[in-house]
Amino acid sequence: MKKLFSIGLYFFSATVFSMQTKQIVDGQTVQALISQKELTRIFVQSDRIKDIKSAANDFTLEKDEENGQIFIMPHAGKEESITLFVTTELGKTITLSLKPTSLSAETLELVYAQHKNEKKIEISQGHEASIIQLMKAMSKRGAIPGYAVENMDDNQELVNGLEKSQQVMYQGRFKGKAIAIKNTTDTLIALNVDELKEPNIKAIGLAKMDLMPGESTEVYLVYGA
C-alpha cells in the first residue's frame, strides 16, 4: 500500500476510492485499468463475487467474502493484462481483462447491462489530483486556493459502535469533510468504505482501516460541488 501523505502519524494507506464503472454485456470481456502500486477494489452492483479463476498467478488477490468483493494488485513489473473469470452468487460468469497502469487505484464497479441507464461515477486524472490535494489540505488543516474553510463541532454516536466528530469542512471546486472516528467498543472494528458513502460522493480517504478498542482515526470525504 502506498503512503500518499502524512499528518504526523503513519498512514496505513490514505487510499483514494474514486470510481471506475464498467457495464457487463453477455459474451463480452470487460476491459478496465488497475493500479500497479495499490490494491484495486472490484465489486458487482446488486450481486456478490463468489469465486475467481485465472491462468496467471503474477498478482496479489485478496477476497472479502463477507462483502462479496475482491482486491487485486499486479506483481512488480507486470505490464501485461490480467484475465480473470469471475463467478457471482447470481450464477453469472464475467470475464475481466485488467491492464496495469501507473495511476492511483480506482474502485472498479461492474454493472449489469439492465442498469445501463444508471449514472456512472467518473473521475478524470485531473479531478483525482485535485481531490488528493484537497485531502492533503484537510489532513493538515491547511489553506488551499479557491476553498473556504469552516471548523465544525458535530458529534454523534453511530449504531455500529463508532463515534464520529466532524472536524472541518472545505468548500470550493469540491466539498470536503474531515471526520474523526473513534471505536467505542471493546473489540476491533474494520471500517467499511461502503458504509461511509453518501450521495454525490467522489472519493474517500482513510487514514486507517482497522480500529482497536478506544482507537481513533480520520476519514476524508470529497463530494461534487
Are residues 143 and 209 part of one domain?
yes
Identify the H or E element spanning 138: helix 125-140
- Please check whether residue 134 lies inside any domain of the structure: yes
Quickly state the pLDDT bin for 157 (edges 50, 70, 90).
low
Identify the H or E element spanning 176: strand 174-183
Please enumerate in sequence order all residues whose Cβ is within 8 A of that of 20, keeping only pairs 6 or more positions apart, or say none: 32, 33, 106, 107, 108, 109, 122
Q: What pLDDT does 170 receive?
A: 94
Pick from 94, 112, 130: which residue ends a domain?
Answer: 112
Give 152-158 contacts, CB < 8 A, sequence gap 24+.
152/177, 157/184
Q: Residue 78's domain is classified under what CATH number?
A: 2.60.40
Its pTM stands at: 0.48
pLDDT value at 152 more than 60: yes
Question: Which residue type sits at 78?
Answer: K
| Placement of cell 486556493 in the chain | 145
| Placement of cell 449504531 in the chain | 159
The span from the CA of 178 to the CA of 139, in Å, is: 7
- Looking at per-residue pLDDT, the higher value among 52 and 206 belongs to 52
Total domains in the chain come to 2
Q: DSSP character for 173?
A: S
The span from the CA of 220 to the CA of 175, in Å, is: 11
- Please check whether residue 117 lies inside any domain of the structure: no
Domain range for 38: 19-112
pLDDT digits (tens, 9 = 90+) for 92-102: 999 999 999 98
- Please check whether residue 7 lies inside any domain of the structure: no
**Cell numbers linked to 102:** 501507473
Pick from 112, 136, 166: which residue ends a domain?
Answer: 112
pLDDT digits (tens, 9 = 90+) for 104-114: 788 898 988 76
Pick from 63, 81, 112: which residue ends a domain?
Answer: 112
- Please check whether residue 2 lies inside any domain of the structure: no
- Please check whether residue 13 lies inside any domain of the structure: no
**Cell numbers linked to 71:** 482486491
pLDDT value at 201 more than 70: yes
- Please check whether residue 83 lies inside any domain of the structure: yes
- Summarize the confidence of residues 214-218 as an average pLDDT: 91
Are residues 104 and 164 part of one domain?
no
- Please check whether residue 1 lies inside any domain of the structure: no
